[in-house]
Structure 1
Amino acid sequence: MKHKNLKKELGLWDVYAIATGAMFSSGFFLLPGLAAAQTGPSVFIAYFVSGLIVLPTMFSMAELATALPKAGGTYYIIDRSLGPIWGTIGGYGSWLALVLKSAFALIGMGAYISIFIELPITAVAIVLTIVFGLLNVVGAKETTALQKILVAALISIMTFYILQGLFAVFSVDFFEVTQRQFTPLFTDGVTGFVATVGMVFVSYAGLTKVASIAEEVKQPDKNIPLGMFLSIFSAILIYVVGVFIMVSLLDPTELRQDLTPVATAGEVFMNWLPGETGIILIVIAAVAAFASTGNAGIMSASRYPLAMARDKLFNPKFSQLSSMGTPLYAIMGTVGLMIFFLLVFDVTQVAKLASAFQLLLFALLNLAVIVMRESRIEEYDPGFNSPWYPWMQIAGMLLSAILILEMGLLSILFTVVVCTFGVAWYYYYAHGKVDRQGAIFHVHARLGKRKDYGLEREMRTILREKGLREEDPYEKVIARSIVIDEWDKNISYKQIVDRASKLLAERMGLNEDELAKNFYEAHGMGTIPIGNGVAINHTRLDKDISPEMVLVRISDEIVVSTEGFDILNEQQTGETEKLRTLFFLVSSSEQSGQHLRILAHLAEMIDNKHFIQRWKTARDESELREVLLRDERFINLRVRTGTPLENMAGKQIREVELPGESLIAIIKRDGAIKIPHGNTVIEENDELSIIGQKEDIQQLKEL
């Protein structure tokens, strides 16, 4: 069953709003007083240390989410790296933990609302769950629109709160206040401080949940890591400075018993505002924080059953999208589970039990980076690479293990129960249905064992979905490509390979026989994708070269054996394939990722239902290239008298000013193709093929 992809309509600020909204709720508005009871005034340092401890997992998640931007986030990543058993554990555990956290947040929201309106808290939480669930059904863009409003209100009020608080702290004798309020700094020694770090660490756990909606993010290579970095910076700043203000201004004994420390501290330094304006602002911020956590939680949590259903680990209904492009059944299931927990359990107590499982997931995510890199899967092409590999990941795993031990027996027992259920469910429901292994089997392959080639195929599909990066020279490669328009009906595949090798060798200064040998070896290894009447032969050389390509159009079909080819659609081919088109790509081994992205985009262009018809009817070499170029990235212009381009005639290429970074890739002159250089002189009636960014080409089109 082919599943529809979710719409890519979320930008940088959507990512920031979801990540930030998933972090702010009880961690700031409830937890500081309880945490201060364990370690005293050093509680603000505990928040800072916890923020640093989450960085390894954040770096790992940023790398994994840009390499695997698919719905399901943590589940999908763990499944594809460690295998479906661990994926089942991660999927169910992540879904359960996020549902509990979201329900807990809405209980907190109900509690703050009840300050001004006396209503039953659980009933309010259930109504809010239904409202946010309906909003999620309407669409991701609408959900994140509310999310951005909530986060904007939260950040604005908290910024005002912090500025006012710092002014209050520094308006008195700072050193006297510090000595009085921060002595002793650690009331329960190192043990109490470490335990507090573990307690407040969960305040940052929501940061990684943004990966569950990665499939819906535009330009994930840029927007996911940048959104996460901005979010963690905001969270650490507000947490550390906000808690520092509370410790500075409140009586230590009262702070340790206070469940609303933000409001209590606000009453001290915001009393200059008329009436109850100060406390109203704080309640608004708290409601916005809890609402954003609940809203983002439902959105993120619903992507777990969606992804698991796609992978046959869950009922297939949960993979279906509504007419509005949202996972209707997955959202309904998530909302239903939240309501069940709200009605049956003390959510406050159960939510805390999920903390150890969150830390286990963090450890597995750090392990996943090591597995993916060591698997040496060429298609693993993250847009962001975690620094200091593998020490960053090893540190993340060790820190998670240390904090798990601080969680207590019940939290660890909860984690064991979830893991046991995940394994049992896999063998009860999914075993035998799932023909898939993780990247860890590629690591085994390096030790002489088998590996899962299906994962490589899936990751090639992900490369196609992600598209090219701005720095990839796809248009330039196509524009410079050598074209063979072959009319000999008796030509063989071997003759075409030899001819393409000769032309590429002449242009690139390579050995013709060596190049042909590489193309033949690629065929033997089954690395040539074939489908839709097209085959793509490609090789990488250990040389400092720019990518070059040969395009081949065959007038009549040639029949080739599919043995030694990577069949793109195994259900629509037999033992032979009729080819009308061949592509040959040569790149440097040092640009392996770029090579694969060009291949992936080429496959995307070929997959277009109009490709073969346009290819067969193209009148000349120029039109053949145009079939493969993105319309918004290129334009053909003729230099003629009486047109805006007439002043180009007689000038060298380097003297011509074009918008932005656009460039003249080829010149068609008197029916011949000319590859221009800086000193090439443009002549009257030359046809220029110009490539560039969309906005630059648009300026040229307006001419």
Structure 2
Amino acid sequence: MAKKSRLNKELGLFDVFAISTGAMFSSGFFLLPGLASQYTGPSVFLAYLVSGVLILPAMFSIAEISTALPRSGGAYFFLDRSLGPLLGTIGGLGTYFALMFKTAFAIIGIGAYASFFWEVPVKTIAIMGTLFFMVLNLFGAKKTSGLQNFFVSFLLVVLGTFIIDGLYNIFFTDRIDVPKANEHFRPFFTNGFEGMIITAGFVFVSYLGLTQIASVAEEIKKPERNIPLGMLLSLAVTGLVYFLGVFVMVAVIEPSEFGNDLAPAATAVKKIFNWMPGDLGAYLMTGAAMAAFASTGNAGLLSSSRYPFAMGRDKLFPENFSKVGKKGTPVQAILLTTSFILLFILVLSEEGIAKLASTFQLLIFMFINFSVIVFRNSKIESYDPGYHSPLYPYMQVAGIIISLVLIAYMGWMSILFTAAIVLVGVLWYKYYARFRVQREGAIFHWFALLGKYQYAELENEFLSIIKEKGLRQGDPFDETITRARITFNEKETDFPQLLNYVSGIFSAEMHVKKEELIKEFLTVSAIEPALVIPEVSILFAKKEGIDHPSLHIVLSEKGIGKSVEKNGISSEDYIRVFFFLVNPSKEPRQQLRMLSRLIDIIERDNFINEILGMKSQRKIKEYLLHNERYITIQLLPGTVQAEMIDKQLKEIKFPSEVLVALVERESATFAPNGNTRLLENDILTVIGEPKSISQLYNRFMNV
């Protein structure tokens, strides 16, 4: 991917938690509880818990795909790469507008709550808030998430105080004026099971912020850890706050008032925080409500702006929207999104649009659950999620059924609105995108198992994403490099002779048949085009019965002729650097991650000349290792490191998590063991975790 269209990875675990949590605490807590109680009565607090459980399949599916394909665009990108660009266009446009509707109404909420205490025009405040969030977004996701973190922290403190104080007074004191609080819970279910399901669907919108993380996945550091963990923490905290907070509201507000209360949190806080002077309690909850709406608006602008960015990058939108500014943000996509939100603020007033938008989101959740099934059945090796959805495929099937049931309860207006968005998406794809895009989804790979067509470039794109994600913790890349055999080929050799020679060495070391290795090395896979680099050849094989990867590197100044093929075109290239990699067959995706790391190294500037200019195996291996993960120490007399001379390795105290991988002695390089005695002028290559390597540097080099 071109650097001009690549976003900075700036968001950590708390940022993920804050974006997700902040996007949920607005109408769900401060507006909907009273209205939702009309369908099920005092059991409304339980409906929030049910709704949180119902969103679990979609959350697990989004977490899996996000860790495999951390790309901006969220639902759009998932659907495009799984079900094809038509559904990607529908999902992208629909989710984009649904998010903008929700964002616009959240920002209007800031002005609405401000108007409770101050004489201010609601829409003027909303417009000013939108422009403020736009400026923050233009300066980068980290700046945006910094404000988001503040909003969420403030919210959790206020809501936590509200819940703890409320529960304490309900169960342990008579201070609040609710002498018959238990009567508020009778009858518990006013409309039976149907009422509970309708209510769960009605408040389902309260959890939609949970999925906004997918649209900023490309900007998250360590996505394979931070995305699923951040989403789980967010759901747990939000679900608990909804459940307990709405329980407190039901307990302290008269049922006859609760059903028509558009600000139940403010009403409840007047009863609970009556120990505060004047209207301080109400001001505090109003401040929390404004922070909630602001965090939803802020997170909404951040995540929704990534949809035109991602679609522009894929040519489903004009390509200008895929450009990144000096601050690493998609400037034109942010400006377009801001313009739409301002338009909605000015012309829309019915809050029911949130219900319409949530119906379309349910449709998207259904498709995303199906996408996990498609990806797994497509057998694309480079689909490499760091997190796997539990209970597959039952979790995904349950998610599809849940979406269909909740959509049915949303009513005909919502269904017609969703159908209208689908129609717009189909027309946009037919008359704009279809002629610009030549791409199909992973579903064609599934069809390919039945002898149908598949889109080969998908493997290459997923491989490039693996390269960007980097190695996973535990991948033995460094150990494989240190153990690698290096051959300097200086005689006339053709490719079949070289292949026979290298396969023979692997065969003797691994006790496998040479003929099987040769066949594996020559087998053309779907990722082969991504491995075609001038003057370099990467050949790989998978074998059962071996317990670790092995690498053989062959360097040839003159070059060895070998046929190559890319994009259906065959040619002859003189290869000067060969990499032969053999992995255990049980770890196919680990092999892909290691191949991706090799490609990353090969793509360094002047790679060929630099590696061919090295005549020492130690220097070649150090060149191939991560810079921050190794250090070279030469045992020279009169230096600090001289203390290691004439000692066995096991006698020397090194920091934890390091390994003396190589010793170069008089131009010979070997892997030492604990009994190896170190001599004067030995050169040690030590690998390990960056923190421990830094300690070694300060101890031996920075003196």
Question: What is the CA–CA distance in structure 1 between the aligned matches of 2:198 and 2:547, rounded to whole Å?
Answer: 55
Instruction: Tell me, in whole angstroms, the C-alpha distance in 2 between the residues paired with 1:390 and 1:504.
Output: 39
Q: Which moved more, 1:139-148 or 1:59-68?
A: 139-148
Of the structure 1 ranges 491-500 and 208-217, higher mean CA displacement relative to structure 2 is found in 491-500
Relative to structure 1, the CA distance from residue 675 to residue 527 in structure 2 (aligned partners, 3 Å threshold; closer, same or farther) is farther
Distance change in 2, residues 1:389/1:496 (3 Å): same
- Indicate the residue corresponding to 1:542 in structure 2: 544
Following TM superposition, by how much is the alpha carbon of 1:646 offset from its aligned partner in structure 2, in angstroms? Answer: 4.0
Q: Report the alpha carbon displacement of residue 179 of structure 1 after superposing the two structures with TM.
A: 3.6
Q: Report how far residue 662 of structure 1 moved.
A: 1.1
| Residue in 1 that maps onto 2:670 | 674
1:446 matched residue in structure 2 = 449
Displacement of 1:378 after TM fit? 0.2
Secondary structure of the 1:322 match is coil
Structure 1 residue 642, shift from structure 2 partner: 4.2
Structure 2 residue aligned with 1:597, among 570, 593, 599?
Answer: 593
- Corresponding residue number in structure 2 for 1:663: 659
Aligned residue type for 1:300: S
Letter paired with 1:302:
S
The CA distance in 1 between the partners of 2:466 and 2:694, in whole Å, is 27
Cα pair 1:355 1:407 within 8 Å, conserved: no
| 2:617 corresponding residue in structure 1 | 621
Task: Give me the whole-angstrom Cα distance separating, in 1, the residues matched to 2:218 and 2:467.
Answer: 13
- Does 2:331 align with 1:335? no
Q: Sort the Cα spacing of 1:347 and 1:537 in 2 relative to 1 into closer, same or farther, 3 A.
A: farther
Residue 224 of structure 2: aligned partner: 221
| Alpha-carbon distance in 2 for matches of 1:452, 1:156 | 51
Contact 2:70/2:218, CA 8 A, preserved across alignment = yes
Counterpart position of 2:510: 508
Which deviates more, 634-643 or 546-555? 634-643
Q: Which residue of 2 aligns with 1:49?
A: 50
Residue 531, structure 1, aligned to residue 533, structure 2: yes
Mapped contact 1:103–1:347 kept (Cα < 8 A): no
Query: Percent of aligned positions with the same letter in both sequences?
Result: 45
State the Cα deviation string for residues 211-263 of structure 1 (Å, max 9, x = none).
10111111111111111111111100110010011111111111111111111
Contact kept in structure 2, 1:483 and 1:552, CA below 8 Å: yes
| Residue 694 (1) aligns with residue 696 (2) | no
Q: What whole-Å deviation, never above 9, does each CA across 1:593-646 have from its counterpart, x for those lacking one?
A: 111101001101111113223212213111111221111111122334544444
Q: CA deviation at 1:171?
A: 1.6
Match 1:584 to one of 580, 589, 603: 580
Question: Are the aligned partners of 1:614 and 1:627 in contact in 2 as well (CA < 8 Å)?
Answer: no
1:450 deviates by 1.3
Question: Which residue pairs with 1:471 in the alignment?
Answer: 474
Offset, 1:404? 0.5
Q: Within 2, Cα distance between the matches of 1:663 and 1:690?
A: 6
Tell me the residue number matched to 2:103.
102
By how many angstroms is 1:151 displaced? 1.0
State whether structure 2 residue 315 is matched by structure 1 residue 312: yes
Which residue identity is paired with 1:674? F
**What residue in structure 1 maps to residue 117 of structure 2?**
116
Within 5 Å, give how 1:366-405 maps onto structure 2.
Answer: 366-405=369-408
Question: Match of 1:604, as an amino acid?
Answer: D
Number of the residue aligned with 1:59: 60
The DSSP-based 3-state class of the residue aligned with 1:450 is coil
Give distance in 1, aligned partners of 2:573 and 2:398.
51
Is 345-354 or 603-612 further displaced after alignment?
Answer: 345-354
Q: Are the aligned partners of 2:30 and 2:289 in contact in 1 as well (CA < 8 Å)?
A: yes
Classify the secondary structure of the residue corresponding to 2:587. Answer: helix
CA deviation profile, 1:455-485 (whole Å, cap 9, x unmatched): 0010011011111112111111111110011
Matches of 2:13 and 2:487 in 1, distance apart? Answer: 44
- Cα-to-partner distance string for 1:414-449 (whole Å, 9 max, x where unaligned): 110001111111010011211100000010001111
Residue 631 of structure 2 aligns with which residue? 635
Which residue identity is paired with 2:503?
S
Name the residue aligned to 1:125: 126
TM-superposition CA deviations, 1:565-604 (whole Å, max 9, x none): x57xx9xx98232322110111111111111101001101
Amino acid paired to 2:52 = G
Question: Aligned letter for 1:339?
Answer: L
Q: Secondary structure at the match of 1:590?
A: coil
- Shift of residue 677, structure 1, vs aligned partner: 3.5
Instruction: Determine the C-alpha separation between the residues in 2 that align with 1:49 and 1:683.
Output: 69
Correspondence for 2:558: 556
- DSSP-derived class of the 2:346 partner: helix
For residue 83 of structure 1, what is the aligned residue in structure 2?
84
**Which amino acid in structure 2 is aligned with residue 184 of structure 1?**
P
- RMSD between aligned residues: 2.0
Distance 1:352 1:302 in 2: 21
Question: Deviations 1:141-168 (Å, cap 9, x if unpaired)?
Answer: 1111111111111111111111111111
- For residues 418 and 366 of structure 1, what CA distance do their matches in structure 2 show? 20
Contact 1:177 1:248 in 2 (8 A): no
Give the SS at the match of 2:447.
helix
Distance in 1 between residues matched to 2:677 and 2:89, nearest whole Å: 64
Q: Separation in 2 of the partners of 1:91 and 1:295?
A: 20
Listed as ranges, the gaps of 5+ residues in structure 2 are: none
Alignment correspondent of 2:254: 251
Separation in structure 2 between the aligned mates of residue 583 and residue 362 of structure 1, nearest angstrom:
43
Note the alpha carbon deviations across 1:246-287, whole angstroms, 9 max, x for none: 111111111111111111111111111122221111011101
Deviation (angstroms), 1:526:
4.5
Q: What's 1:145 paired with? A: 146
Q: Which amino acid aligns with 2:666?
A: D
Give, in whole Å, the separation in 1 of the partners of 2:305 and 2:275. Answer: 44
Quick one: structure 1 residues 507 and 102, their matched pair in 2 at CA, closer, same or farther if it must change by over 3 Å? same
- Indicate the SS of the match to 1:689: strand
**TM superposition shift of 1:506:** 3.0
Bigger Cα displacement from structure 2, 512-521 vs 149-158: 512-521
Cα deviation 1:105-137 (Å, max 9, x = unaligned): 011111111112212212221221122112211
SS in 1 for 2:268: helix
Aligned equivalents of 1:629, 1:459: Cα separation in 2: 24
- Superposition TM-score, scaled by structure 2 size: 0.95
1:10-49 matched pairs, under 5 angstroms: 10-49=11-50
Structure 1 runs not aligned, ≥5 long: none
> Residues 526 and 282 of structure 1: is their aligned pair in 2 closer, same or farther, counting only changes over 3 Å?
closer
Displacement of 1:542: 1.9
Aligned letter for 1:543?
G
In 1: Cα distance, 2:179 partner to 2:593 partner: 61
Distance 2:526 2:368 in 1: 36
Alignment match, 2:155 = 154
- Deviating more after overlay: 615-624 vs 514-523: 514-523
Deviation at 1:648, TM superposition (A): 3.9
For 1:487 and 1:70, how far apart are their aligned partners in 2?
45
Question: SS of the residue aligned with 1:455?
Answer: helix
C-alpha distance 331-528 of structure 1, shift in aligned 2 (>3 A): closer
Q: Which moved more, 1:467-476 or 1:401-410?
A: 467-476
CA contact (8 A) 1:103 1:294 kept: yes
- The one-letter code sitting in structure 2 at the alignment partner of 1:241 is L
Query: Relative to structure 2, which stretch is displaced further, 3-12 or 174-183?
Result: 174-183
**In the TM superposition, what are the counterparts of 1:355-374 in structure 2 within 5 Å?**
355-374=358-377
C-alpha contact 2:557 2:576 (8 A) present in aligned 1: yes
Contact 1:611 1:627 survives alignment (8 Å): no
> Which amino acid in the other structure matches residue 389 of structure 1?
Y
Is the contact between residue 71 and residue 307 of structure 1 (CA under 8 Å) also seen in structure 2? yes
Corresponding residue for residue 268 of structure 1: 271
Task: Summarize the alignment of residues 163-178 of structure 1 with structure 2, pairs less than 5 Å apart.
Answer: 163-172=164-173
**Residue 320 of structure 1: how far off its partner (Å):** 1.2
Corresponding residue number in structure 1 for 2:75:
74
> Contact 1:81 / 1:438 at 8 angstroms: preserved in 2?
yes
Distance 1:96 1:527 in 2: 37
State how far apart, in whole Å, the 2-side matches of 1:589 and 1:678 are. 31
Q: CA deviation at 1:557?
A: 2.5
Give, in angstroms, the shift of residue 561 of structure 1: 2.1
CA distance in 2, matches of 1:240, 1:203: 12
- Three-state SS of the structure 1 residue aligned to 2:421 is helix
